Amino acid sequence: MSITEIAAAARKAAIQLAAAKTEQKNEALMAIRKALLDNADAIIAANQVDLEQAEKDNLAGPLLKRLKFDQSKIDGVCEGIDSLLKLEDPVGQTLSATELDAGLELYKVTCPIGVIGVIFESRPDALVQISTLCLKSGNAVLLKGGSEAAQTNRILADVITKATAAVGIPDGWLGLLETRADVAGMLKLDDDIDLIIPRGSNEFVKYIMDNSNIPVLGHADGICHVYIDAEADIDMAVNISVDSKCQYVAVCNAEETLLVHEAIAGEFLPKAKAALDAKNCEIRGCEKTRVIIDVKPADDQDWKTEYLDYILSVKVVSDLNAAIEHINTYGSGHTDAIVTANKATAMTFMDLVDAGDVFWNCSTRFSDGFRYGLGAEVGISTNKIHARGPVGLEGLLIYKWRMIGTGQTVEPYAAGDKHFTHQKLDKDWIGG
């Protein structure tokens, strides 16, 4: 099928899927879970083909780690499906109810966006997470993963579509795109696609925005920071900074720059270096950092870099304001954390840092839809439209205004014979 035909099929399916009952969607999710486990050997074998080719192509180590889809990854996405099953159906929820006049009621009710196009990196687990989130939220989805994962993505899409077809989910709700030409074609299909979510670099997101009339939910670089305040607990600060960087380096919520208040740098940095050295993490530091510990020099480019590797840039700053200024200058609006015992300092940091996720005394690695209880995520939104931060079910919804009358017309109100009451109602939409 051509990209035009795939998108048209998704549009047709989306109309039906929007009205799917909770029981049917949950049945489909359970069918996907079972099918993934039943077909685990075939999925892992397909992934092995991708891994072997990627190694021949000298794919970088962190990217190989993302690409791997073994039994533990399958178990992980099944856990994500379990989480989705426990969540309330987000479709048909009443956001507000208003009596305009006696017998004339207005409801603001959640509904699916429609057809969502997602372009994502070479992470097969992302295909499962995105497709199941779209299913639960009643959206059709077009998926374009990295070419390195072509075999894995193909079998996963096939397993998922067959499992959902068996329980009556409309054909075409999931479309797999495999070429760059498909992406270029997708950008032109504003009659069939309602939203594009590109996961990648700032340059890539900007390219998508500049070349399509379709709304774009941008997921840019993850240049995340941890700031160690003068009033931080040293051991806590070391643990948080090391976990933020090293727990899993090849992800967008991993720390890339560590900022340290100069008053605590002499005590903190040697301990942090010892812990990071134990993880084989390279440190690049500013001049003040290099006076305290022996590390490679950092330059202005380091502050702008998403390493996705065992590399961390470190800068000693004079105070909280300097840390906030650095983050707002070089950060990508993803996730930034402060470690401090001072609540007022933490609140100032969280108020003034311009990011979708701001944390106090915890690792940046918590910035994740599954960990938030959102049922995984389609990505992290670093822009400021209807969804920001991890985009789970709520970020895949829009709303409709639904009105119920008893024969009313506008003329009596225009003439002044009748008047609106605009009373808030404590009731749900009748179909909710």
Query: For residue range 90-142, what is the model confidence (pLDDT) as tens digits?
Result: 999 999 999 999 999 999 999 999 999 999 888 899 999 999 999 999 999 99
Please tell me the predicted confidence (pLDDT) of residue 162.
98
Please tell me the predicted confidence (pLDDT) of residue 375.
66
Question: Are 215 and 295 in the same domain?
Answer: no
Q: Is the pLDDT of residue 431 over 80?
A: no
Q: Is residue 420 part of a domain?
A: no
Q: Is the pLDDT of residue 318 over 90?
A: yes
Q: Is the pLDDT of residue 32 over 90?
A: yes
Question: Are 272 and 197 in the same domain?
Answer: no
Question: Are 16 and 146 in the same domain?
Answer: yes
Angle between helix 22-38 and helix 71-86 axes, rounded to 10 deg = 170
Question: Are 390 and 315 in the same domain?
Answer: no
Q: What is the pLDDT of residues 41-73, one digit of tens each?
A: 999 999 999 999 999 999 888 788 889 999 999
295 versus 386: the higher-pLDDT residue is 295
Question: Are 48 and 61 in the same domain?
Answer: yes
Rg (CA), the chain: 24
Question: Are 94 and 108 in the same domain?
Answer: yes
Give phi and psi for 107, each to the nearest 5.
Answer: -125, 140
Q: Is residue 317 part of a domain?
A: yes
For 49, residues 6+ apart whose C-beta sits below 8 A from its C-beta are 151
Q: For residue 276, which of 312, 252, 318 has the smallest C-alpha distance?
A: 312
Give the N- to C-terminal CA distance of the chain in Å, as an integer. Answer: 37
Q: Is residue 350 part of a domain?
A: yes
Please tell me the predicted confidence (pLDDT) of residue 219.
65
Q: Is residue 402 part of a domain?
A: no
295-301 mean pLDDT = 96
Q: How many domains does the chain have?
A: 2
264-292 mean pLDDT = 98
Alpha carbons 153 and 8: distance in angstroms, whole number? 21
Tokens of 295: 């590390």
Please tell me the predicted confidence (pLDDT) of residue 380.
78
pLDDT band at 393 (very low <50, low <70, confident <90, very high): confident
Q: Is residue 378 part of a domain?
A: no
Q: Is residue 423 part of a domain?
A: no
User: Are the C-beta atoms of residues 54 and 148 closer than 8 Å to each other?
Assistant: yes
Question: Are 118 and 206 in the same domain?
Answer: yes
User: Are the C-beta atoms of residues 92 and 98 closer than 8 Å to each other?
Assistant: no
Model confidence, pTM: 0.78
For 396, residues 6+ apart whose C-beta sits below 8 A from its C-beta are 90, 112, 113, 116, 133, 134, 137, 139, 378
Mean pLDDT, the chain, whole residue set: 93
Question: Are 343 and 274 in the same domain?
Answer: yes
> In this predicted structure, which of 32-46, 79-93, 213-227, 260-274 has the lowest mean pLDDT?
213-227
Give phi and psi for 375, each to the nearest 5.
Answer: 75, 50
Q: Is residue 375 part of a domain?
A: no
Q: What is the CATH number of the domain that holds 165?
A: 3.40.605.10
Question: Are 162 and 207 in the same domain?
Answer: yes
Return the percent helix, strand and coil in the chain, to nearest 5. 45, 20, 35
Question: Are 172 and 82 in the same domain?
Answer: yes
Q: Is residue 307 part of a domain?
A: yes
Please tell me the predicted confidence (pLDDT) of residue 16.
95
Q: Is 333 left (phi over 0), alpha (psi -120 to 50) or beta?
A: left
Question: Are 120 and 213 in the same domain?
Answer: yes
Please tell me the predicted confidence (pLDDT) of residue 386.
76
pLDDT band at 220 (very low <50, low <70, confident <90, very high): low
Please tell me the predicted confidence (pLDDT) of residue 373.
79
Q: Is the pLDDT of residue 424 over 60?
A: yes
User: 336: domain range?
Assistant: 224-366
Question: Are 188 and 308 in the same domain?
Answer: no
